Amino acid sequence: MGKYSDSGDWADIVPIPLNDGGPNPLAAIAYTEEYSEAMEYLRAVMANNEKSERVLELTEHIISMNPAHYTV
């Protein structure tokens, strides 16, 4: 799956970035760019309470990158 920001399928979603404690967080986690972007889109669809096939595919993608995040 490509970047969500480059996909027309996600053009209607405004990603919500992670707020990990401001400009100088105490213990920021070094997420990959791919994972961070996917999570930004997940936050947005969760805020919109969207339940769709594309959200299911998004959650599958996130789980494939981080199997410990099974609660997504």
Percent pLDDT > 70 in the chain is 97
From residue 47, alpha-carbon distances to 5, 14, 37, 67 in Å are 18, 11, 16, 23
Dist CA 65 CA 43 (whole Å): 16
Q: What is the pLDDT of residues 25-51, one digit of tens each?
A: 888 888 999 999 999 999 999 999 999
**What is the rounded end-to-end Cα distance, in angstroms, of the chain?**
18
* Residue 72 or residue 46, greater confidence: 46
Reported confidence tier of residue 15, pLDDT bands at 50, 70, 90: very high
Contact between residue 15 and residue 43 where contact means Cβ atoms under 8 Å apart: yes
Q: Which helix (H) or strand (E) holds 44?
A: helix 33-47
Q: For all residues of the chain together, what is the average pLDDT?
A: 91
* pLDDT value of position 6: 93
